[in-house]
Each structure stands twice: as structure tokens, then as C-alpha cells.
């Protein structure tokens, strides 16, 4: 009886173990951003995505586990010859992602190796189409060309190249030295050009300043002369007006009897003064005795005035 009970317990325990093994073989938990490729009798069956999945035990098996994460692949440096026969050493980094796990598993033996080699060969081909100077200037176009070539070939591999970046482009030492000399010459030329431009601009500014100063000085002198001429004209006009007014006043005064007497007295005084001046300036003066007397001089002056009166010189007739 005990043997039967022990045998029955062992059977159920064995059955439970078998059931657990079967459940463990049939239930698959796929992690996030992973894909399991399932084969049945060596043939592709399905692709399991993240989460809980089931397979038929002992018939189905997980043949490949493919990561769906974006990968950064270091592309080793390789030699490339430019269009002008300069050897360069170029390396880069490639960012790719698997889009079709089935093609990545069966389309190529190792899609990572294939994409890396394709990136290297495409880089050599693209660099061979351009010159050395354009190689440094057209990194973006090189990167775009490599991405396009990888995506064209990688479509059969289920992989997509998201972007490619060139890290370093290293020319030979002799080319680097020549480029250094060229850059130094360019910098020296630009410095000389800037210096000459500065000198020219300085000379232009100085000349313009001198010209402006001369113009301003000439304008100032012209304004000064105009003002002086205007001042002189005003002074002459004023003097002439004053003289005219004085003569007019004298004429009006001389037309009266009192004015006649004043004129006669003034003329007599001036005649006497003239005689005195002649006597002072000359040591010997020969004159008639009767005409040298002061009374005679006054009489002569009065005679002149009387003659002028009789001729109408004072009356204006």
C-alpha cells in the first residue's frame, strides 16, 4: 500500500515537473526594445516583440535575439586618396538602428560588420571624387552621401543608418606643413591688405580734413572781407552823409547876412594863418611894405569875399 502511495506521489511530482518545464519552454518574456526571431523546424516562424509571448515547446525555438535600440558604431580609420592624389586618413562614427529583425537575422551574417565595411568603402569612394580643399569644406555632403549609400544597401539587411559623422581627417605631414605655410601666407596677406587699407583710409581722412579746413578758412576769410567791405561802405556812406549834411548846414548858414559875416571872418582868419605859416617856414620873405601889414591882409580878404558876393557864389544865383 505504501509503495502504491509513494509511486502515485512520485508520478504526480514528475508530472508537475514536466508541466513546469513545458510552461517554461512555451512562455517567453521579451524585454523592451528587443525582438526574438522564432524558428520552427529550422524555418522562420515569427518575430516576438516586447512583452509576454508563447511558443510550442520542443518545436519552436528562439533562433536570434535582435536589439532594436539605436547603436553608435565606431568606424575605424582608413586611407583614402583625393581627386588631386593626396592620401588622407579618415575615421568616423555611425549611428544605426535595426528596423526589420527578420532581415537582420537572415539577410546578412553580421549586419554590424557589413554596415561598418560599407561605411568605409563609401567614404573612400566619396573622397576620391573631390579635392583636398573641398574635403575639409564639404563634410556635410560627405556624411549625407555615406548615409544614402548605407541605406540603399542596408534595406536588404533590415538596418537603417540614421546619421554618419566624420571625426578626423588627417593629411600627411608634408601636406600639413604646406597647409600651414599657405595659411600663414594668407594671414600675412590679409594683414598687409588691412594695414594698407588703414593707411589709405587715414590718408584720405587727413586729406579730407585739410581740404575741409582750407575751405572753412577760405570761407571765413571771404566772410571777413565781405564784412570789412560792408563796414567800410557803411563808414564811407556815413561820412559822406555827414559831410553832405555839414555842407548843407554851412550853405544854409552862409546864405544869411550873419553867415556872410562869419564866412568873411573865417576867410580872413585863414589868410592871416597862412601868412604866419609862410613867415615861420622861410627865413627871408620879400614883400611890399604896405601889403605886409595885417590890416592890408584883412582888406584883401574882405575884397575877395565881396567879389564872391557880387558874383552870387554864396547866394547860388
Q: What is the pLDDT of residue 284?
A: 52
Higher pLDDT, 264 or 232: 232
Mutual angle of helices 139-154 and 111-127, in 10-degree steps: 140
Tell me the range of 42-46, 133-137, 257-261, 309-313 where mean pLDDT is highest.
42-46
Residue 291 is predicted with a pLDDT of: 47
The pLDDT of residue 8 is 63
Q: State pLDDT tens for residues 77-125.
A: 888 888 888 888 888 899 999 999 999 889 888 888 888 888 888 888 8
Note the pLDDT tens digit of each residue in 281-310. Answer: 655 544 554 544 555 555 665 665 565 556
Domains of the chain in sequence order:
2-67 (no CATH), 71-171 (3.30.479.30), 255-317 (no CATH)
Residues 66-76: tens digit of each pLDDT: 999 999 998 88
Rounded to whole angstroms, the Cα distance separating 226 from 233 reads 10
- When the pLDDT of each residue in the chain is averaged and rounded to a whole number, the result is 79
Residue 192 has pLDDT above 50, yes or no: yes
pTM comes to: 0.51
Condensed to tens digits (0 to 9), the pLDDT of residues 198-211 reads: 888 888 888 888 88
Q: Give me the pLDDT at residue 35, please.
A: 92
The predicted model gives 249-256 an average pLDDT of 69
Find the mean pLDDT for residues 52-61.
86
Distance between CA atoms of 141 and 220, rounded to whole angstroms?
67
- Residue 37 is predicted with a pLDDT of 92
129: pLDDT confidence band, cut at 50, 70 and 90?
A: confident
- Which pLDDT value is given to residue 286? 47
Can you give the pLDDT at residue 9?
Answer: 65
How confident is the model over 13-46, as pLDDT tens digits?
Answer: 677 766 677 777 788 888 999 999 999 988 899 9
- The span from the CA of 119 to the CA of 154, in Å, is 11
Amino acid at each position: 500500500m505504501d509503495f502504491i502511495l509513494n509511486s502515485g506521489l512520485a508520478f504526480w511530482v514528475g508530472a508537475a515537473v514536466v508541466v513546469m518545464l513545458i510552461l517554461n519552454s512555451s512562455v517567453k518574456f521579451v524585454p523592451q526594445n528587443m525582438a526574438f526571431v522564432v524558428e520552427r523546424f529550422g524555418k522562420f516562424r515569427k518575430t516576438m516583440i516586447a512583452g509576454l509571448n508563447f511558443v510550442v515547446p520542443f518545436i519552436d525555438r528562439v533562433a536570434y535575439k535582435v536589439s532594436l535600440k539605436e547603436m553608435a558604431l565606431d568606424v575605424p580609420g582608413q586611407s583614402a586618396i583625393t581627386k588631386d592624389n593626396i592620401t588622407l586618413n579618415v575615421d568616423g562614427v555611425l549611428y544605426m538602428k535595426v528596423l526589420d529583425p527578420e532581415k537582420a537575422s537572415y539577410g546578412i551574417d553580421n549586419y554590424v560588420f557589413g554596415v561598418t565595411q560599407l561605411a568605409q568603402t563609401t567614404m573612400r569612394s566619396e573622397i576620391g571624387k573631390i579635392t583636398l580643399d573641398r574635403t575639409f569644406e564639404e563634410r556635410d555632403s560627405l556624411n549625407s552621401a555615406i548615409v544614402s549609400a548605407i541605406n540603399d544597401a542596408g534595406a536588404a539587411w533590415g538596418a537603417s543608418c540614421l546619421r554618419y559623422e566624420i571625426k578626423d581627417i588627417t593629411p600627411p605631414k608634408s601636406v600639413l606643413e604646406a597647409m600651414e605655410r599657405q595659411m600663414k601666407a594668407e594671414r600675412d596677406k590679409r594683414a598687409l591688405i588691412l594695414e594698407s587699407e588703414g593707411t589709405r583710409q587715414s590718408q584720405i581722412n587727413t586729406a579730407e580734413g585739410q581740404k575741409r579746413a582750407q575751405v572753412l578758412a577760405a570761407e571765413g576769410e571771404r566772410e571777413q572781407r565781405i564784412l570789412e567791405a560792408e563796414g567800410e561802405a557803411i563808414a564811407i556812406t556815413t561820412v559822406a552823409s555827414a559831410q553832405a549834411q555839414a555842407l548843407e548846414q554851412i550853405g544854409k548858414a552862409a546864405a544869411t547876412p550873419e553867415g556872410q559875416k562869419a564866412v568873411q571872418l573865417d576867410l580872413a582868419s585863414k589868410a592871416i594863418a597862412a601868412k604866419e605859416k609862410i613867415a615861420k617856414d622861410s627865413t627871408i620873405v620879400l614883400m611890399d611894405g604896405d601889403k605886409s601889414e595885417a590890416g592890408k591882409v584883412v582888406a584883401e580878404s574882405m575884397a575877395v569875399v565881396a567879389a564872391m558876393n557880387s558874383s552870387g557864389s554864396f547866394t547860388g544865383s
